[in-house]
Amino acid sequence: MSSYAETLAENVEEQAESEDSAPETREKPEDSSDSVDELTLVEAICDGLYTEMSQDERVMALGEDIGRNGGVFRATDALYEEFGEHRVVDTPLAESGIIGASIGLGLSGMRPVAEIQFMGFLYPGFDQLVSQASRIRSRSHSQLSAPIVVRMPYGGGIRAPEHHSESKEAFFVHEPGLKVVTPSTPYDAKGLLTAAIRDPDPVIFLEPKLIYRAFREEVPQESYEIELGEASIRREGSDVSVFTWGAMTRPSLIAAEELAEDGIDCEVVDLRSLSPLDIDTIVDSFEKTGRGVVVHEAPKTGGLGAEIAATIQEEAMLHQEAPVKRIGGYDAHIPLHALEDYYLPQAVRIQDGIHDVMEF
Amino acid sequence: MSSYAETLAENVEEQAESEDSAPETREKPEDSSDSVDELTLVEAICDGLYTEMSQDERVMALGEDIGRNGGVFRATDALYEEFGEHRVVDTPLAESGIIGASIGLGLSGMRPVAEIQFMGFLYPGFDQLVSQASRIRSRSHSQLSAPIVVRMPYGGGIRAPEHHSESKEAFFVHEPGLKVVTPSTPYDAKGLLTAAIRDPDPVIFLEPKLIYRAFREEVPQESYEIELGEASIRREGSDVSVFTWGAMTRPSLIAAEELAEDGIDCEVVDLRSLSPLDIDTIVDSFEKTGRGVVVHEAPKTGGLGAEIAATIQEEAMLHQEAPVKRIGGYDAHIPLHALEDYYLPQAVRIQDGIHDVMEF
Amino acid sequence: MIHAQSGLHEQDEHDRLQILDADGNVHPHATVPDLSDEEMLAMYEALVLARQFDQRAISLQRQGRIATYAPMTGQEGSQVATSYALDEQDWLFPTYRDHAAKHVHGRSLSSLLAPLRGHREGYAIPDDVNVMPEYIPIATQIPQAMGMAWGYKLQEQNDRAVLCHFGDGATSEGDFHEGINFAGVFDVPAVFVCNNNQWAISTPRERQTKSETLASKADAYGVDSIRVDGLDPLAVYQATRAAIRKAKDPGPGESRPTLIESIQYRFGAHTTSDDPSVYRPEDEPEYYRKRDPVDRLRGYLESEDILTDERQAAIDSRVEDRIEAAIDEAESLEADPDDIFNHVYDEMSDRLKTQRDELRELREKYGDDAFSEVLE
Amino acid sequence: MIHAQSGLHEQDEHDRLQILDADGNVHPHATVPDLSDEEMLAMYEALVLARQFDQRAISLQRQGRIATYAPMTGQEGSQVATSYALDEQDWLFPTYRDHAAKHVHGRSLSSLLAPLRGHREGYAIPDDVNVMPEYIPIATQIPQAMGMAWGYKLQEQNDRAVLCHFGDGATSEGDFHEGINFAGVFDVPAVFVCNNNQWAISTPRERQTKSETLASKADAYGVDSIRVDGLDPLAVYQATRAAIRKAKDPGPGESRPTLIESIQYRFGAHTTSDDPSVYRPEDEPEYYRKRDPVDRLRGYLESEDILTDERQAAIDSRVEDRIEAAIDEAESLEADPDDIFNHVYDEMSDRLKTQRDELRELREKYGDDAFSEVLE
Ligand SMILES: Cc1ncc(C[n+]2csc(CCOP(=O)(O)OP(=O)(O)O)c2C)c(N)n1
Ligand SMILES: Cc1ncc(C[n+]2csc(CCOP(=O)(O)OP(=O)(O)O)c2C)c(N)n1
Ligand SMILES: [Mg+2]
Ligand SMILES: [Mg+2]
């Protein structure tokens, strides 16, 4: 087994475990100043919601099975008990209704955080999100806005059934008026979610479910924001820049460590914010290394990798020592789990791709 | 007025005229072998439907107001009278219903051609199209398919109200299993539509409504196919390649003629097929010229221009004498008509962009 | 001839609330809403204004001075009455056809014309006006209106209700279903007004759904409903007022939301780009023209001596002046290309700034004529 | 305690078709469907198989041999009965939970397990089997099933009907509304079966909609409906058979489509990843367990001397063998990475070919272990 596969295996076991057994209700300590918890990414999301709901009465959560059930991934665990059925609301099974309702709630002065159970089930609500929420500001000449957050687990690798492994962030990035973020660590998860909730515009908060429980990290109990629109350099390097986000950050880092042994020094940039993109960080990194790859789960054609490659050649062509290589999902539907590890970028593919770029 | 603006003005006047007055019902000549008609693009679409419905009983049309009314743009003019209410069907006002029904009709052995009144109203049916029709083949291991065509007018420039000027082809190109085509001439309109109807997979047929009635061209009365997946070089040139499609082909050609006077020889490639892309033609043209621009109406970020630029630098970086420039809509919603001419790529912007690329 | 029948479908009037008969006489057992003479006259003036505005707008479109317009003649009675039934703090969710409803609830006449002149400024809402920009994608406003009503309920702003307009065609969309189902489940203070003008462009009501009535669709959501003669402004007022009252302060056993099916008829074309003679019999409107809401209210007010010739003359001249002023105002609006970029996000992104600056440079370099507006 | 009430909601049984009482006795005024002893026994065997399959599948999932599984215990009676009511040429649109319905209409047991082992081959449909691959996105099958039924009607294949399954939760989706509305308008030969198991994951039926019943939602579309005791296989068979007959050959004044609300209960978890004790009272299933469909049909067959101990033993052993064989077959499936690319289009695009070749090269270069399947 490759080290990535091992990492995955751990995740998935944890995942399966936590899904099959009754969830524990996490206790909130009374005094939360200056304290930190060791949290998984999904716990950090839950904590981010908790913290923000505690501080701002306008914040509410709504979606399918997020109440008593705490969400199918337990991302809203114990919030129902804490904040009651009017602030943590199980809705009917209707995604357009959930997002349309959220827009209206936002207009009334609330700060709704909607959960879509899986990205593959967002599409019935696509119109309300992409064609409605995105435009409330522009069509009203900024008199109105849609201060909503739409959270959804996305991505593959967890042996899920059909339609449960979507990674179509590119759809949302192409629509003006939407912001799109995705964390790759528990710390970022809480900070980005806090910023998303406070943002006056609609923010799509993509949750890399493959790493929901992959590892723990210290997360402050108090609230903090990570500014939307800022990438994070996860590993500095001088030979080649790896641009990635969400669950692909880890295999990218694994690949970088393996390549270090071959003397290739990778810089790994976790974009975090997919819309707006942090073009400065992307271009600066590329200008430093002169070589780049983009790693994402979505189909290659029309994926966000295209935007990044196009931007780099626009802004930094004269620094280009090799084509920017896109290591993505293939232009096919993500297969069921017997084959999904062939579909998703594995550390081995990432390494191989980086070698290509180095040897160009 | 720029020449492009003049061209537009003509279009729009014709358009407005034909929309405000009662439509004429076009007579079909009895003997149609070897004959040609001088048709506009929208007439060629209607003719394509007529020809295919005459030859293949399985072909039917469905959508909102396509029957007695002949479609809001008259794209199904007189088909209701010719083929009757069971083959030219006015549906209830429900896009998910229309596309879902089309999938089922296709499974039963019919060849449905659905009309969505404007691209901006496709989104309620996004799920059925992007998440369902696209996968019938892959999820059934090719035992089943969705032999449907979804036609929709798209693009701006006709002084239309909000949500009537969308150009979001990139959404469909990113989804495996869908094909996406758009004609820029009447001849291509009929040939591509015929091929789309005969294709066993779902084809999205985008109709550039700005040029629905912009000019006439000889169109054979008999049926013919233009193979899906093949671009067309509209103008050969040696200095710079312009990649475009749909309604942007004309301003690109206008810009090319103007630039010819400055001694810049543009090659204008009309992609026609947006998925699959004709990568060979794109790369060959670029390798010849070493410089390229992409012109499209959609917002620049995440638009198809990104895919083309990314592909070019991947496949032909060593030929690149300048960055591939994307001349697109801005990353904002297309404004109402007082400003839409600032938003859409005008010949002046295209010329300016090409100058940039030439002077790099 | 399925199509040709359609208008007749709704001509049995016994199943709906009516106060005035076709000639403006009060039905024997009906009660006229409790409105002062001044209120009645104001409502009537709004009707006259709406009718006049509609005619002017159609001719402005013909002259190329505004873009495609959706006429409301025949439907303005219901529009005016529903907005009259609102309290100031209530919100209105209108469609592209609800010009009169918007105006009565506070939008200026010139703001109605601005988008038709291509200016999104017309959708900018003054702080004290609770009218959403119009909704063009059919039925999308329904879950949003529901959501806003829910939000007010959650915030215990119990004096607020939300009124949401849509057409007969809208009842086929998933958003109608999802929105009203949520309204039932969360018992929100919303009034849904289905303006059943019997046509969705060329599709007649009975090809839209095999449901007996549109009002009865509310049963599927456990939501109350009522059918009302939409050409009778007093009946519409009464039904809407009752629904708004109930939304804010439901009695024991009452639920907050209501679906009102207001049965109307579109006297004219769907929009100025539409030609109804292609799909419906020329004489279909006759029946409804005889029940013209403006005439009916005028008939009633005259019979009650509330409306005099003098007052009518004053109304006519005020209406004329206001419309002229509105047209002047709308036609004096200038567009600022920077606005393309100004309202995408609260803070403009770097890429948008670059794009804005690029456009500024291009305009500088080539002049605005190079981008000149078509047809202007 | 809104949630805790839910199960009780549907416990008044007077409003639904029932043939067998809780103990398997025929109700005084009920008529048993006209089925031969052999047919009755076959149906019973299918029920036993379903129950057994469900238990094995749950334990396979526990052992990590299949992925997340959606149990059907308590609902198999209705599933088997609806499929028994189909003619061979009819099509079935199932959900992720309709294992028994699929099997009875022709899908092999191993094909049910294959997707759970990660193989899309399980969705490949033999030419002579009219069962769509299961639908996971809720309610999306409804407009499609409607469309297929419409297509057969247009092609005058009047001996074909389409049966479409979905849950109580599905009734909230726009696609339910749009699909059934079309069915009414185009009068298509479709039977819509709402498997009201009273829960949509953790959401109880009465938080899904304030509608009195789910069946009555059909009125909004002018479509016939019926409520049936979904734990009574004979009642479900009778209702479905009548609906299929009517779909193909409606009598005067009858319409083709029908919505059947089959009132059931999910005895177990939503899926093997779900823990119902979090959201519903542990004793809620009790009432329904006493009405177990397998027991009821067994009771009836025993009382009629159709089922003997011998026959039961033979059934049990056949069932056991078939399930074992199916598991072996499913576990012997091997995945071919080329299949990722093989079924995207009728003809593979150049870019897909390149990608396929790239993957082949990578596998060659690094070996399949480098891509090794997690948990396998
Ligand atoms: C989602 C969507 N689909 C299609 C259209 C195009 N369209 C505009 S108006 C209209 C008919 C609407 O009919 P109805 O709801 O009865 O309202 P009316 O125009 O009669 O007031 C259609 C189909 C649209 N605006 N939105
Ligand atoms: C469009 C969509 N949204 C959400 C989900 C996630 N989901 C899977 S099953 C389920 C509940 C379905 O309930 P119901 O329709 O009653 O069917 P049941 O599972 O009870 O058989 C949900 C919400 C989904 N599969 N599809
Ligand atoms: Mg209407
Ligand atoms: Mg259920």
Chains B, C: CB contacts under 8 A, how many? 163
Cα distance between residue B98 and residue B128, in whole Å:
9
Stretch(es) of chain A classified as CATH 3.40.50.920: 232-358
Which domains does chain C possess?
8-332 (3.40.50.970), 337-375 (no CATH)
CA angle D67, D71, D76 (to 5 degrees): 140
Q: What residue has token string 């998703």?
A: A344
Minimum CA distance residue for ligand 2 atom 11: D200
Cα distance between residue B86 and residue B88, in whole Å:
6
Q: In chain C, what's the furthest Cα-to-Cα distance?
A: 74
Residues of A in contact with C146 (CB under 8 A): 97, 100-101, 104
Say how many Å lie between the CA of residue D96 and the centre of ligand 4. Answer: 12
According to the model, what pLDDT value does residue D12 have? 76
In tens, the pLDDT along D304-335 reads 999 999 999 999 999 999 999 999 999 999 99
Cα distance between residue D240 and residue A303, in whole Å:
46
> How do strand B111-115 and strand C199-200 relate by DSSP bridges?
unpaired
- What is the pTM for the complete model shown? 0.95
Cα distance between residue C285 and residue C268, in whole Å:
8
Summarize the confidence of residues C230-249 as an average pLDDT.
Answer: 98
Cα distance between residue A112 and residue A103, in whole Å:
8
Amino acid, single-letter form, for residue B314: E
- Name the closest ligand to CA B91: 1
Cα distance between residue C11 and residue C288, in whole Å:
9
Residues 6 or more apart whose Cβ sits within 8 Å of residue C174: A96, A124, B94, B96, B124, C139, D173, D174, D175, D177, D178
- By the 10 Å C-beta count (0-12 exposed, 13-18 middle, 19+ buried), A29 is classed as exposed
In tens, the pLDDT along C186-199 reads 999 999 999 999 99
Minimum CA distance residue for ligand 1 atom 7: C138
Cα distance between residue D189 and residue D256, in whole Å:
5
Residues 6 or more apart whose Cβ sits within 8 Å of residue B337: B159, B160, C67, C118, C373
Cα distance between residue D228 and residue D238, in whole Å:
9
Pick from D112, D98, D109, D115: nearest CA to D320:
D109
Q: What residue has token string 């109804």?
A: C276
According to the model, what pLDDT value does residue B28 have? 47
| Token pair of A292 as six digits | 């780049």
- Whether the predicted pLDDT of B26 surpasses 60: no
Q: How far is CA C272 from CA B20, C97, C229, D162, D323, in A?
A: 6, 12, 26, 43, 67
Residues 32-71 of B with CB under 8 A from C: 64-65, 67-70
Cβ proximity of B48 and B54 under 8 Å: no
Contact C340 B332 (CB under 8 A): yes
Cβ proximity of B270 and B254 under 8 Å: no
Pick from C16, C239, A93: nearest CA to D138:
A93
Summarize the confidence of residues C356-366 as an average pLDDT.
Answer: 97
The CATH code for residues A232-358 is 3.40.50.920
Share of chain B above pLDDT 90, in %: 90
Could you tell me if B280 lies within 8 Å of chain D, comparing CB atoms? yes
Could you tell me if B9 lies within 8 Å of chain C, comparing CB atoms? yes
Pick from A208, A98, A99, A196: nearest CA to A153:
A208
D174 lines ligand 2 (CB under 6 A): no
Stretch(es) of chain B classified as CATH 3.40.50.970: 3-20+34-220
Mean pLDDT score of chain A: 92
CA angle D223, D226, D232 (to 5 degrees): 150
Give me the half-sphere count of Cα atoms (radius 13 Å) on the Cβ side of residue A254.
Answer: 20
Mean pLDDT score of chain B: 92
- Whether the predicted pLDDT of B21 surpasses 70: no
- By the 10 Å C-beta count (0-12 exposed, 13-18 middle, 19+ buried), C219 is classed as buried
Contact C342 A142 (CB under 8 A): yes
Cβ proximity of D49 and D317 under 8 Å: no
D135 lines ligand 2 (CB under 6 A): no
| Token pair of C350 as six digits | 């770097």
Cα distance between residue B211 and residue B213, in whole Å:
5
| Least confident span in A284-288, B3-7, B57-61 | B3-7
Q: Report, as ranges of residue numbers, the positions in chain A whose pLDDT lies below 50.
A: 1-29
Q: Which of C76, C78, C138, C199 has most ligand 1 atoms within 8 Å of its beta carbon, as the pocket-test mutant?
A: C138
Pick from A338, A330, A151, A344: nearest CA to A247:
A344
Q: What b/e readout covers C271-288, taking b as 16+ CB neighbours within 10 angstroms?
A: bbbbbbeebbeeebbeeb
- Whether the predicted pLDDT of B31 surpasses 60: no
Cα distance between residue B346 and residue C369, in whole Å:
12
Share of chain B above pLDDT 70, in %: 91
Considering the candidates B86, B141, B163, B164, report the single residue annotated as catalytic. B164
Q: How far is CA A9 from CA A13, A341, D129, in A?
A: 6, 12, 37
Give me the half-sphere count of Cα atoms (radius 13 Å) on the Cβ side of residue C16.
Answer: 26
More confident of the two residues D3 and B332:
B332
What DSSP letter does each residue of A212-261 carry, written as one string?
TTS--EEEESS-----TT--EEEE--SSEEEEE-GGGHHHHHHHHHHHHH
According to the model, what pLDDT value does residue D372 have? 73
Cβ proximity of C174 and C182 under 8 Å: no
Residues 85-144 of B with CB under 8 A from D: 86-87, 89, 91-92, 94, 96-97, 99-110, 112, 124, 127-128, 131-132, 137-144
Summarize the confidence of residues B265-292 as an average pLDDT.
Answer: 98
Minimum CA distance residue for ligand 1 atom 19: C200
Q: In chain B, what's the furthest Cα-to-Cα distance?
A: 59
According to the model, what pLDDT value does residue A25 have? 41
In tens, the pLDDT along B147-201 reads 999 999 999 999 999 999 999 999 999 999 999 999 999 999 999 999 999 999 9
Pick from A265, C169, B105, C348: nearest CA to D150:
B105
According to the model, what pLDDT value does residue C9 have? 56
- Whether the predicted pLDDT of C2 surpasses 90: no
Confidence of residue B14 (pLDDT cuts 50, 70, 90): very low
Cα distance between residue C85 and residue C43, in whole Å:
11
According to the model, what pLDDT value does residue D10 have? 72
Beta-bridge partners for C191: C163, C258
| Token pair of D350 as six digits | 């150049």
Q: Report, as ranges of residue numbers, the positions in chain D whose pLDDT lies below 70.
A: 1-9, 373-376
Cβ proximity of B202 and B288 under 8 Å: no
Q: What subunits make at least 3 CB pairs under 8 angstroms with A?
A: B, C, D
Looking at domain B3-20+34-220, does it have CATH number 3.40.50.970?
yes
- Residue D127 φ/ψ, nearest 5 degrees: -55, -30
Residues 6 or more apart whose Cβ sits within 8 Å of residue A143: C124, C125, C127
According to the model, what pLDDT value does residue A32 have? 52
More confident of the two residues D311 and B32:
D311
Task: Clarify whether C29 is annotated catalytic.
Answer: no
Q: What is the 3-state secondary structure (H, E, C) of chain C?
A: CHHHHHHHHCCCHHHCECCECCCCCECCCCCCCCCCHHHHHHHHHHHHHHHHHHHHHHHHHHCCCCCCCCCCCCCHHHHHHHHHCCCCCCEEECECCCHHHHHHCCCCHHHHHCHHHCCHHHHCCCCCCCECCCECCCCCHHHHHHHHHHHHHHCCCCCCCEEEEEECHHHHCHHHHHHHHHHHHHCCCEEEEEEECCEECCEEHHHHCCCCCCHHHHHHHCCEEEEEECCCHHHHHHHHHHHHHHHHCCCCCCCCCEEEEEECCCCCCCCCCCCHHHCCCCCCCHHHHCCCHHHHHHHHHHHCCCCCHHHHHHHHHHHHHHHHHHHHHHHHCCCCCCHHHHCCCCCCCHHHHHHHHHHHHHHHHHCHHHHCCCCC
Residues of C in contact with B342 (CB under 8 A): 337, 340, 359, 363, 371
According to the model, what pLDDT value does residue B119 have? 98
- Whether the predicted pLDDT of B138 surpasses 50: yes
According to the model, what pLDDT value does residue B164 have? 96
